[in-house]
Structure 1
Amino acid sequence: MKISYNWLKKYISIDMDIKKISNILTDIGLPIKSIKKITDIKDYILDIEITPNRTDAMSHYGIARDLYTVLKFRGYKVHLSKPIIDNEIYFHNNKYIQIFLEENKKCIRYSVILLFKIKIDTSPNWLISSLESIGIKSINNIMDIIHYVMYELGIPIHVFDLDKIIGNKIFIKNAQSSMHLQSIDNKEIIVNKKDLIISDSDQPLSIAGIINNINYNIHIKTKNIFLGIACFDPIIIRIFGKKHLIKTDVQYLLEKGIDPNLTIYALRRASFLIKEITNTKKNISNIIDVYPHPITFKKIKLRYKKIINTIGVKISKKKIKNILSLLEINIHSENDNYLLVIIPTYRIDVKREIDLIEEILRIYGINKIKISNQIKVSPIPIFFYRKENEIRRCLSQQLVCYGFQEIISNTIIKNDQYSSLLNSFFKREEIKIINPLTKNYNSMRSSLLFGMIDCIKYNYNRIFNKNFKFFEIGKIYYRNNNKFLEKTYLSISIFQIIQISENNFKINNYPFFYLKGIIEQIFQKSGIFDYTQICSKHPLLEESISILLNNKKLAELGIVKNNFFKKKNIFYAEIDWEYLVSIIQDKKIIYIPFSKYPTSKRDLSLLVEKNVSFEEINQLIKNKENHIIKKIQYDLYEGINIPKSKKSYTISFFFESQEKTLTDNIINDSMKKIEYLLKNKLKAEIRNK
């Protein structure tokens, strides 16, 4: 969204360096993407990225209001001026035109003002330059005022030629039959049955307030003008915009939801500007307003203790009240423990107590919250998690502690050769979307891998640190035997740039084993130990292995093929989440006390053929000597001084007993049995003899 610095200063008394302004806006949650200087009119244009839930900040006055709040709280001498409006008292008057709201659930409020004997002319220079500074071309004085009010207050106003409205009646209703409508850019829009329209007694004037009928547009000979503001259900606008692939500023504001309690103010603002510019003082009607079910102010209970527990520091009650006052949030009642506050209707993003706490922290300044020097560790729970949401929270926290970041990727993907290859390999039928957002993104994902790769590519091109660790818990979608199925997976990935040593050995093969270790840590926390590993085939992964439990695949990991990201390594793992959760829920809690006897370690180095996996070695040893072996660790080496057809394992054995101290004779005897098994079963060559 583009914001003019000169325009911003009309509402807030501010004389600050533009970079400082951009830093303050970024601090309060409105990141500045770029700043452009316009030398002709001595102005700066700020390109601001606003989160979709902050509709109150999608205008010049909305930005000024937020900026004023944080500057005033920080002690700056600033003043906020509201846009001047027409202060005449208006009364409902439906003698000249009548409004019929047939769809009052889809249309929350409809407000109208009529202009008579208006001369349509060019706009004054200040209005033209204000609009041109944000990339809007001047049309005429009336349309320019309408655009000005929209970018000033964030309220779209639609305009019709009043003399062309048949029957002096306006209906907000569903279309009764299909019809064609020509828009201002000469596009033909098909109006379907049950599309929400604004209509006169004969034909539609507008579809959902987004696309206007070109036949009703004002022109140089227009004398009488109809101005209307419609507050529609945002879901209706979003569905219509997606169906007809419409992306305009009007559609964007309406689909996010405008404040129905600001319609009268916006019309009064428009009428004031029209009076000033056209010099017509008595040719404006009273406001006609239809508001069957007024939106009431929300009341939220805000507890002081909850604020402290959430933020981590104590903010004085005086500062909390000051922040709420600056945010135009009124206190309805209070006591020593909590406040009952009234939320203004333009703050549609503030719905819960936690939203209020977030607003307090945003204005107070998250940079003021100091990190404690003490490390506090929660006590180990004496119970085992059973509910899926508890398991999810527990394992997500574990991955975050390992340095992973959680992502949420799009469930809609491109239907390309890789997704087709994956579906063919796993014998799945893809699910195509009948009405896709774009032509390319037209299928539901059949693997979390595609979203993970897109996320890595996006961050790789924008972040200096090129090493990423991500995870996601999400669903995949596919069809089998004409049944639509969905399945949940936990995907984990590590990204590192490939490094090759002098002997052509991949130095960063380490992340593969690190990723495997992460999975084993998840299994250990989940109480899963008796799993097996086998080499597997995967259409999109190299060097992949599958982890099985009870002969059913629980996880798969490998290196993503370079077709996706050339000369880069993505180490990827996918865990069957539903299977994992079922195992955890069925697991019985078994307490095994720590042994009071010491642990002994022995190392063994051996050469084996390249086709021998560590899992074969591991399973062979476990089946024969598992009673006193507590843990097995291994290291792999291939390269200099090792024959090309072989590889070297260094295996560490940890011996421990719950009953007695293990003597050297017992341990050495066990090691001899292990060596014998390895030599005879796997034809291994023992190296450290």
Structure 2
Amino acid sequence: MTISYNWLKQFIKIDWTPEQTSELLTDLGLEVEGIETYQSVKGGLEGVVIGEVLTCIQHPNADKLKITTVNIGEGTPLQIVCGAPNVALGQKVPVATIGTTLYTETGEPWTIKKGKIRGEESHGMICAEDELGLGTSYDGIMVLDANLKVGTPVANIFEVENDFVFEIGLTPNRADAMSHLGTARDLRAGLVQKDIHLEFITPSVSAFHVDNRTLKIDVEVKNKELAPRYCGLTISGITVKKSPKWLQNRLKAIGLKPINNIVDATNYVLHDMGQPLHAFDAAKISGNKIEVKTVSSGTKFITLDGIERSLHEDDLMICDTEKPMCIAGVFGGIHSGVSEKTTSIFLECAYFNPVSVRKSAKRHGLNTDASFRFERGIDPNITEYALKRAAILIKDIAGGEISSELIDIYPKKIEDFQVRLSFENASKLIGEEIPKETIKRILTSLDIKINNVTETGLGLTIPSYRNDVLREADVIEEILRVYGYNNIQTTEKINASISSSSKFEDHKIQNIIGSQLAAQGFFEILSNSLTTPSYTALSEHLKEEHNINILNPLSGDLSVLRQSLVFSGLEAVAFNINRRRSDLKLFEFGKTYHGYTNSREEFKHLSLFVTGNQHQENWNVPHNKSDFFFLKGTIMSLLERLGISRFNEMPIENDLFSEGISLVAAKYKLVDFGLIKKPILKHFDISQDVLFADFNWDAILELVKQQKVGFKAISKYQEVRRDFALLIDDNVTFESIYKLAKQSEKQLLKSVNLFDVYQGKNLPEGKKSYAVGFTLQDENKTLTDKQIDKIMSNLQSNFEKELGAELR
């Protein structure tokens, strides 16, 4: 929202600098995100003065140029070469002196310099109105009033307006501040808190009166729920033309393009008071009657932008007896608006149901200044006042007469609402006790009426335009923002509370796994849940009919909720590769969304993406490519960290992978992982291999909760290690050695470890050598040499009998 400082000062005569004012507005919750300067004439005509032509002769070397001497009120008159056909002796003209910066129509600056034109020196420029930005004529120089004083700055004559414009980041709840009146009202409250009491000036409508009753247009509100209040009147004998400069400057300052005096007047009142209005050409209203109603679904209607729209049965329309003329509170129709031929108007001012306006605006993809305010809720009790204000303004700038009584259909008045404020609750929420008199002063400055005062609290009446202040907590928030958050003292005492929560909560498990992945060199990404519907065509497992579509998408590429994390992750991979970061290890916690026949469901996932080298390029680190086994090792370490050890490897069924496996535990599929298919990578312009893992995080959480952690004390008695170097056949596996060893000694054999394998020279053909270590331990006593030798002898005997092994 943009607010003009000059406009603001029409309500409150503040003499602060824009910077001081912006700080106070920000403290009040109307955050000023930036301040820009505005000049009705770019450059402010600085350096342009009034001069008098003393001499004017023909240029000796050019037929279309003349040499003039011009008095600008200081020192020696200037010699200026001028090419305008209308320059003449004795004229008062605008002169741009050397060093003055002027601007082209497109806003590009250029500077006046001393120069020679066809051999004759020129020390400035006599200007035309288009060169100064004062008009569009370029037929010749501007000839000014002969009575003007030489040397006077031209900016003083043309009343160049210099303004500052605040860009305010308005929160959606502050509908009351969506105007210069509302902003000034807040500013007044802030000034009162600083003990600065300035008069709050509201526009007077005492000049309003009905001139005649020659143009009566009846109004019937058929849907009073969607239009709780509707006002209107007619004005005849108007002249549609350009608005006066002051009005144009007001609108231009806040970024609006002036159209004509009628439309500009309604826009002015909109931004002045926050009340939208609409003017209909009275001659185009069939049957001299306005009907506020809904129409049949599918009715065609052409809006002001020339687009034909199909109306919904819930759209509230402003109609005459034959046709719709305007989408209420949203956008006018092309056939009923004001044009240059308009001589009489019906001026509408209303309060429409915010929900109805919001739905209609979203339904038709329209976002106007009027709908922006109606959607958030305007003041229902300012309607008549704003209509009178607009009518007076139109009469002043367009002429005409008010030709009907002011119609005000308001069957059920929207009352101000009551709130009880407890001083004790205020102190608890604020964390500091604010003096009662200060609280009362703040509330009064906010137009909150104090009905009664007791020792414990206040009975309050909240004005209807504050539709965001409905509870005691809201009133306390209002007190605090005006009092100043910065004025609340910070306590030196630190309070802490301990919550009773399970160690298996989602965020805690996420933190554990996220920390482990980060320690392994992974980076977390966070991608958009909205994606393009075309991605479902890349996999047969994803069905287009399962897409959940967004009703009002920002674009076609962000129109559905994702069914898989792989595509948003590949977008991130492609983005990084395109910026020369091709060694990537990424992870993301996120949800997928599925619209099934009878339900809509969402599932949580953890996804891993690995591509390029395992480590960054370095002289002492080998260039190992990230491969399937690197990803598998990462996955196994994550499952081990979570205490999940019982699972099976199954063939993968997901067609996203060219090769891969699934890990399954009981009824749960834990993770699919492998190498993504080349055609999918090609869709994202990725030429290098990408490994992907998709964890079923919901299943992971369920299994983690089922894991029971056991405790076993460290044995007091030491372990014993013995090794065998076994010569065995090529077809004998370590698994068979491990199983036979465990069968031979079930109690004291703690581990079996293969630490060397040899095949080749000095071994018989078809043989290999395994170096196997055996760890023995008794939990209750120290093992004797006799026990150890017996166990090892038994192992050797079994290896020889069952596996044909020999000791080397």
Alignment deviations for residues 266-301 of structure 1 (CA, whole Å, 9 cap, x no partner): 112212323443566x63543211123322223334
> Which residue is equivalent to 1:431?
547
> Which residue is equivalent to 2:98?
none
For residues 378 and 467 of structure 2, the distance between their equivalents in structure 1, rounded to whole angstroms, comes to 9
Matches within 5 A, 1:53-64: 53-64=173-184
8 Å Cα contact 1:449-1:491 kept in structure 2: no
Amino acid at match of 2:346: F
TM-score by length of 1: 0.66
8 Å Cα contact 1:12-1:78 kept in structure 2: no
8 Å Cα contact 1:298-1:344 kept in structure 2: yes
> Which residue is equivalent to 2:25?
25
Tell me the CA shift for residue 9 of structure 1: 1.9
Among 187, 202, 213, the alignment partner of 2:333 is 213
Amino acid at match of 1:49: G
Question: Does residue 137 of structure 1 match 2:257?
Answer: yes
8 Å Cα contact 2:533-2:547 kept in structure 1: no
For residues 517 and 310 of structure 1, the distance between their equivalents in structure 2, rounded to whole angstroms, comes to 50
> Which residue is equivalent to 1:4?
4
Amino acid at match of 1:149: V
Q: 1:95 to 1:122 in 2, by over 3 A?
A: closer
Q: 1:257 to 1:7 in 2, by over 3 A?
A: same
> Which residue is equivalent to 2:532?
414
How many residues end up aligned between the 2 structures?
A: 597
Alignment deviations for residues 328-383 of structure 1 (CA, whole Å, 9 cap, x no partner): 233344544444433322222333444334333333333444555544332453x8
Amino acid at match of 2:180: H
Give the secondary-structure state (helix, strand or coil) at the position aligned to 2:402: coil
Question: Does residue 293 of structure 1 match 2:412?
Answer: yes
Q: 1:129 to 1:436 in 2, by over 3 A?
A: closer
> Which residue is equivalent to 1:155?
275
Q: 1:428 to 1:148 in 2, by over 3 A?
A: closer
Question: Does residue 264 of structure 1 match 2:379?
Answer: no
Give the secondary-structure state (helix, strand or coil) at the position aligned to 1:215: coil
Q: For structure 1, which segment, 107-116 or 570-579, has the greater mean C-alpha deviation from structure 2 after superposition?
A: 570-579
Give the secondary-structure state (helix, strand or coil) at the position aligned to 1:235: helix
Matches within 5 A, 1:125-524: 125-176=245-296, 178-278=298-398, 283=402, 285-311=404-430, 313-318=431-436, 319-369=438-488, 371-379=490-498, 381=500, 412-417=530-535, 420-421=537-538, 424-425=540-541, 429-431=545-547, 433=549, 436-437=552-553, 438-447=555-564, 476-479=593-596, 482-489=597-604, 500=616, 502=618, 503=621
What are the ranges of 5 or more consecutive residues in structure 1 without an aligned counterpart? 459-468, 507-511, 603-619, 628-659, 670-675, 681-689
Amino acid at match of 2:616: I
Amino acid at match of 1:314: E
Amino acid at match of 1:214: I
For residues 661 and 345 of structure 1, the distance between their equivalents in structure 2, rounded to whole angstroms, comes to 83
Matches within 5 A, 1:66-105: 66-73=186-193, 75=194, 77=196, 79=198, 81-87=200-206, 96-105=216-225
Tell me the CA shift for residue 145 of structure 1: 0.9
Give the secondary-structure state (helix, strand or coil) at the position aligned to 2:173: coil
For residues 682 and 185 of structure 2, the distance between their equivalents in structure 1, rounded to whole angstroms, comes to 50
What are the ranges of 5 or more consecutive residues in structure 2 without an aligned counterpart? 42-160, 519-523, 576-585, 625-630, 720-738, 748-778, 789-794, 800-808
Q: 1:298 to 1:562 in 2, by over 3 A?
A: farther
For residues 477 and 173 of structure 2, the distance between their equivalents in structure 1, rounded to whole angstroms, comes to 14
For residues 298 and 233 of structure 1, the distance between their equivalents in structure 2, rounded to whole angstroms, comes to 18
For residues 338 and 391 of structure 2, the distance between their equivalents in structure 1, rounded to whole angstroms, comes to 17
For residues 457 and 68 of structure 1, the distance between their equivalents in structure 2, rounded to whole angstroms, comes to 54
For residues 400 and 307 of structure 1, the distance between their equivalents in structure 2, rounded to whole angstroms, comes to 42
Alignment deviations for residues 119-152 of structure 1 (CA, whole Å, 9 cap, x no partner): 3343222111111222222233222111101111
Tell me the CA shift for residue 583 of structure 1: 7.8
Q: 1:100 to 1:94 in 2, by over 3 A?
A: farther
Q: 1:577 to 1:37 in 2, by over 3 A?
A: same
Give the secondary-structure state (helix, strand or coil) at the position aligned to 1:229: strand
For residues 439 and 674 of structure 2, the distance between their equivalents in structure 1, rounded to whole angstroms, comes to 52
For residues 783 and 12 of structure 2, the distance between their equivalents in structure 1, rounded to whole angstroms, comes to 83
Please, what is the CA RMSD of the aligned residues? Answer: 6.0
Give the secondary-structure state (helix, strand or coil) at the position aligned to 1:348: coil
Q: 1:174 to 1:424 in 2, by over 3 A?
A: same
Q: For structure 1, which segment, 106-115 or 242-251, has the greater mean C-alpha deviation from structure 2 after superposition?
A: 242-251
- Identity within the alignment, %: 30
For residues 489 and 664 of structure 2, the distance between their equivalents in structure 1, rounded to whole angstroms, comes to 46
> Which residue is equivalent to 2:70?
none
Amino acid at match of 1:288: I
Amino acid at match of 2:9: K
Alignment deviations for residues 457-478 of structure 1 (CA, whole Å, 9 cap, x no partner): 99xxxxxxxxxx9998867233
